[in-house]
Amino acid sequence: MPLLSESPTVLPIHRRILAFSFIGWIFDFYDLLLLSFLISPSVTSIVKDLALTPYEVSVLLGTPLAFTAVGGFIGGAMADRFGRKPLLMATILVYSVGTLAAGMSIGFWTLLAARAVTGIGVGGEWAVAHALVGETVPPAVRGRYGSYLQSGSAFARFFASMMGNLLAPAIGWRFAFMLSALPALLVVFRSAGPSIWPSAAT
């Protein structure tokens, strides 16, 4: 069976792979940025509820970014061993679990752990999604597809700002985190079907 990257034209499966990776890219950036839109006292009561100091807030904002590096190393190595497809779904599941756990935090340390898990998942998804798209699309459109993937970060910022400015003040920070974990989880379960992935995409 020829490799997907050897196709002379862009096939529907290339677009499906890009679409799944793109959606995962949107939600990973969204989950990474979400806390920064919830931390203001004018938006939610998270600082008061968890008795967070300014120093702890800064640590919470920086921790997931730092752990994206950890996730990138782990995700890339495991993708080489177990395949791109299962690791892409696994990384999305990881950052979704981290976001869900953030909504159940009872203090600084539990929120810190949840945000670290989110960072690991996000970093892993970055590494695996770029590898998957780069290795499966034809060389003639590889750069273009990579730019499409990266543009998901702009959509993520838009959705995170909408959650922070419109929904979170009404539903609270806990529900904002929990609700934000659901779309990515649905993507994972939907992508498990055979219609999304050919065997060559593993």
Question: How much is the pLDDT for 1?
Answer: 58
Question: How much is the pLDDT for 99?
Answer: 94
Output b/e per residue, 112-141; b: 16+ Cβ within 10 A. Answer: bebbbbbbbbbbbbbbbbbbbbbebbbeee
Question: How many angstroms from the chain centroid is the CA of residue 145?
Answer: 18
Tell which residue, 148, 189, 142, has the closest CA to residue 25.
148
Question: How much is the pLDDT for 193?
Answer: 47
Residue ranges of domains in the chain: 22-191
Residue 172 token pair: 């609270």
Question: How much is the pLDDT for 191?
Answer: 59
Question: How much is the pLDDT for 124?
Answer: 92
Query: What is the Cα–Cα distance from 29 to 65, expressed in whole angstroms?
Result: 10
pLDDT by residue (tens digit) across 7-20?
A: 878 888 888 888 88
**What phi, psi does 154 have (nearest 5°)?**
-70, -40
- Taking each helix axis from N to C end, the angle separating 12-38 and 168-191, rounded to the nearest 10 degrees, works out to 150
Tell which residue, 25, 16, 202, has the closest CA to residue 129.
25
pLDDT by residue (tens digit) across 27-65?
A: 889 999 999 999 998 889 999 999 999 999 999 999 999
Question: How much is the pLDDT for 139?
Answer: 86
What superfamily would CATH give domain 22-191? Answer: MFS general substrate transporter like domains (1.20.1250.20)
Q: Which regions of the chain are under pLDDT 70?
A: 1-2, 184-185, 187-202
User: Residue 172: which region, alpha, beta or left (left: phi > 0; alpha: psi -120 to 50)?
Assistant: left
Distances (CA, A) of 130 to 24, 80, 123: 11, 13, 11
